[in-house]
Amino acid sequence: MIIMRRRSFSGIQPSGIPTIGNYFGALRHWVNMQDEYDGVYCVVDMHALTIRRSPQELAGNIRYLYALLRAVGIDPDRSTLFVQSHVPAHAQMMWLLSCYTMYGEMLRMTQFKDKSKKHPDNVNTGLFIYPVLQAADILLYDAHAVPIGADQKQHVEITRDIAERVNALYGPVFTLPEPLIPPVGGKILSLLDPTRKMDKSDPLPGAYISLDDSRAAIAQKLKRAVTDSEGSVRYDPEHKPGVSNLLGIYSLCEGITTREAEGIFSQGGYGALKDAVTEALDATLAPVREKVACYLADLPQLDALMREGAEKASAYADTVLRKLCAALGLLP
């Protein structure tokens, strides 16, 4: 008997180079999920259009992220990896779903409110109906699970609401997705303000470590990382957030607990801790940097891989799209 695996959907915006927070908090989990789920992984480039950026920057970011996902271990033989705009069904599905999404539901979405405040000069309609495109992304692949951070739960909830509305009217068209929120822990904080989450949009580059940072850049940023005046290496997020953040990064690189990391450095100083974190991070990131560089060195081959991924994704997405069209009464 053939047992069908449950399917998961994950997407990442090409809005810049991801940080180590993105790697440990999401990308590494995506790689591990391939053992359990039939994974669908997508560079959601159409979502990135809600913010103005140069075409050259966007194109470069798309290629980089696609290469990065392959470099960290997303295996196209075990999963589906593609670029969102290469599968027209996403835009088509978004329009169909928007006709079954209520205006009031969009008004309640917190992300629209937050981004409108950050970009008051560009409050566009795409930003407002962004969750409908996310719903299309998920529902096109009959995803059972969507790995997200706790702050994204609202988007999976609105996806379920839309799917349930369509199913109630036309029968079982869609699979209802569930949010897959990883256990609390492992969150990487800003190197300069360890009370805040590490963020690639931070105006201070020294606050975060990007996945393409060289060993020298990593070392420089960690040397300037905020600790405290106490001098003892101890894992205590409340009273020693900076030191605890460094111990957390080291433990994630080495696959040990924070308490085990604390034991290693309890007799040393902050300098030794920062040096060790530098070595551990570079050992983790160097292979990824090298693989990304190889992919980007041969753009025709990279674009061919994107086409293969899009063809694989389209084969499934088009089936679901046709199913919805037939349910609504649209002719083939």
> Quick check: is 187 catalytic?
no
Active site residue 118: no
Cβ distance 186 to 171 under 8 Å?
A: no
Considering the candidates 187, 197, 223, 291, report the single residue annotated as catalytic: 197
User: For residue 326, what are its two tokens?
Assistant: 């037939």
Q: How far apart, in whole angstroms, are the C-alpha atoms of residue 251 and residue 262?
A: 9
240 noted as active-site residue: no
> How far is the C-alpha of 144 from the C-alpha of 178, rounded, in Å?
6
Choice among 115, 221, 240, 274 that is catalytic: 115
- Set 187, 200, 312, 323: catalytic member: 200
CB atoms near residue 133 (< 10 Å):
22
Distance (Å, rounded) from C-alpha 288 to C-alpha 284? 8
**CA dist 288 to 35, 281, 283, Å?**
20, 11, 10
Cβ-in-10-Å burial (0-12, 13-18, 19+) of 85 comes to middle
C-alpha angle with apex 316: 310 to 319, nearest 5 degrees?
A: 125
* Catalytic annotation, residues: 115, 197, 200
